[in-house]
Amino acid sequence: MKQAGIWAKINRLVFRQNIWRWLYVVLFLGAVALRMAIAASQRVFLMPEGSGLDDMLMIRAAQSITAGQWLGAYGGVAIAKNMGFAVWLAFLHALRVPVLLGNAALWLAACAFAVWALRPLFKGNLGRLLLFVFLAYQPLSYAFFTQRVYRDSVFPTFSLLFFAGVLGLCLRLALPSGKGSILAALGAGFGLADAWLMREDGLLLLVFGICAAVVLAAFVLFNKQVKKRVVKLLCVALPFVVLGAGVLGFSAANQKHYGVFMVSDLTEGTFPAAYGAIVAVAAAESEYMPLTPVPQQTLQKLYQEVPTMALLKPQLQSSNVLNGFGNPQTGEYGGSFYYALRLAADYGGYTPTAPAAQAFWAQLLQEVQTAVAQGRLKSVKAGSSTVPLWHSSLLAPTLAETGRGLLAVFTFSDDAGTMDIYPAESMGTPEAIQQVAQYLYSPVQQGYVAGTSQPYYNMVQKICFAIANGVTWVYRILLWPLAALALVVLCKTLGKTIWQLFNKRKAGLQLVFAVLLLGLLLSTLLRVGVAAYMEAAAFNIGVYLMYFSGALPPLLLLLAAAPGLQNSGWVSGSSQAQQN
């Protein structure tokens, strides 16, 4: 009875409490204005003479889109990454919107969509306002890395759209009319498609998407109370249709401009197969070296046995390539050896066009396979991926990095000082910085306090940064009890509803929603675990929150939605038939 009373109070005070509408509007607009003020107080961080594989790659591609030349001339890295962020930058340029303001507005729009998606849980407008603020002010949305003009500054936005859309679809499938199901599905699809086109590891979202689709389709098919089943099944499939449309559209643009029908020729086509074959040879020919996918010992043997690989030897041994991806003293390449291979082929003139590159890597693959078949090279089972091969020695460091990553997410602190949101001086010549800043319609940090090396910040900036830093500490304290509460409620609900299911009592929508929330938890762990594995196997750069930022949206949605599992109002409100 006491426990029921506690949940009744939480339900009344948070989930069902209403405030005056005019006050709700004022507070909502005030929250939006303050969040935009924080974004306006920050400055873009530019490296116009560097970051050729990161920030400037995206900016130059956006400039090419603006000039009507798609992503620009083909080269070793032209479509080596999923370049959706370049389209976003070109879109902001066309609207003359500064990048940081555009990114912040996009984040707030995603937060508003998430509030709408979870509206069946939050019957009162006070709860919806608190949910919006909880999402809008999460610290990684204004961390230092978001001041870089790079795709990780908006990737979490599309992750939030996707996960919120799936939850919103679940909450509406039991409605007799299914009202809102199409909008929720479109939001999920838009988030999934854009996340996929922003980063190669958007694939991780698809894992949750497929599992969620199976669960939701089973609910629609086997729950006799669900009406309009065909329409609702189409809604379940709609996110994948949107994803397919986005991938096909981007691939068609690459086909027209480059002559290859794919989003990225780093992860698709013949290159990943060729690279996978090389790494498989290294695994068999050489003793495992951490962070070194293809040791020099294996490279020398590949030069001898694979003619196409021998063509790349001069470039791979040159400072032009080695300085960026390897150790000039030892000649050993690190975890990004795949970029070194591509640039070596580019600099050598062997991949002048995308079709020529496909043929070149196909030839390399065939020669490696022939050498293995003839016994001139040894190999383990080859994959078709740039992801590092698993080795037993990676287990301990991966688990350790996973723990450090989770701690970084909950404490909003990492090895790089990411949460220092004060603008930093851009790096490069003033002329180059100004040229890029003009394209982005964005101010850069300029000027120092007289007589010091400290950057100058005006009074408005200082106030906004102080507020943001204070909010960060609130999250550092708040996430721990919210996580504990969410886990307790989730475990309790899963246990109860599964017991009901095994005892032939209908668990209904509550079980389906609890399973999706469990999926959010697993998605958070998967994202952190994959980033930890890449850190342990390939990069060794320390814990950097930018790479873990995609784990925060599903975590925040889990913490916000899990307590609602104890409130039966939304279940019965969806359909009287769902009451147990």
**pLDDT tens by residue, 420-448:** 788 888 888 989 999 999 999 999 987 88
Q: CA 274 to CA 270: how far, in whole Å?
A: 6
Distance spanning both ends of the chain, measured CA to CA: 19
Q: CA 30 to CA 390: how far, in whole Å?
A: 50
Check: CB of residue 139 under 8 Å from CB of residue 471: yes
Task: Please give the torsion angle defined by the CA atoms of residues 494, 497, 503 and 509, in that order, rounded to the nearest 10 degrees.
Answer: -130
pLDDT of 10 reads 67
Q: CA 32 to CA 195: how far, in whole Å?
A: 24
Average pLDDT, the chain: 90
Q: CA 163 to CA 482: how far, in whole Å?
A: 19
Q: Which two tokens stand for residue 178?
A: 């299914």
Check: CB of residue 209 under 8 Å from CB of residue 240: yes
Check: CB of residue 107 under 8 Å from CB of residue 157: yes
pLDDT of 274 reads 96
The Cβ of residue 455 has, within 10 Å, a number of other Cβ atoms equal to 16
At 217, the amino acid letter reads: A
pLDDT of 4 reads 55
Q: CA 328 to CA 317: how far, in whole Å?
A: 9
DSSP of 511-575, one letter per residue?
Answer: HHHHHHHHHHHHHHHHHHHHHHHHIIIII-----HHHHGGGHHHHHHHHHHGGGGG-THHHHHH-
pLDDT of 580 reads 34
Cβ burial 40-63 (10 Å sphere, 16+ → b, else e): bbbbbbbbbeebebbbbbbbbbbb
pLDDT of 443 reads 93
Q: CA 151 to CA 199: how far, in whole Å?
A: 7
Check: CB of residue 339 under 8 Å from CB of residue 77: yes
pLDDT tens digits in sequence order for the chain, 580 residues long: 455 566 666 666 666 778 888 999 999 999 999 999 999 999 999 999 888 889 999 999 999 999 999 999 999 999 999 999 999 999 999 999 999 999 999 999 999 999 999 999 888 899 899 999 999 999 999 998 999 999 999 999 999 999 999 999 999 987 877 889 999 999 999 999 999 999 988 889 999 999 999 999 998 988 777 788 899 999 999 999 999 999 999 999 999 999 999 999 999 999 999 999 999 999 999 988 888 999 999 999 999 999 999 999 999 999 889 988 888 888 899 989 999 999 999 999 999 999 999 999 999 999 999 999 999 999 998 888 899 989 899 999 999 999 999 999 999 988 877 777 888 888 889 899 999 999 999 999 878 887 777 888 889 999 999 999 999 999 999 999 999 999 999 998 888 888 877 765 566 788 899 999 999 999 999 999 999 999 999 888 888 889 999 999 999 999 999 988 876 556 654 544 333 3
Q: CA 488 to CA 321: how far, in whole Å?
A: 52
User: Which of 210, 162, 211, 163 is closest to 190 using CA atoms?
Assistant: 162
DSSP of 241-264, one letter per residue?
Answer: HHHHHHHHHHHHHHHHHHS--SS-
For 60, 100, 449, 473, 478, the CA distances from 466, given in Å and listed in that order, are 34, 18, 18, 11, 18
Q: CA 280 to CA 282: how far, in whole Å?
A: 5
The phi and psi torsions of 524 (rounded to 5 degrees) equal: -60, -50
Check: CB of residue 114 under 8 Å from CB of residue 557: yes
pLDDT of 577 reads 38
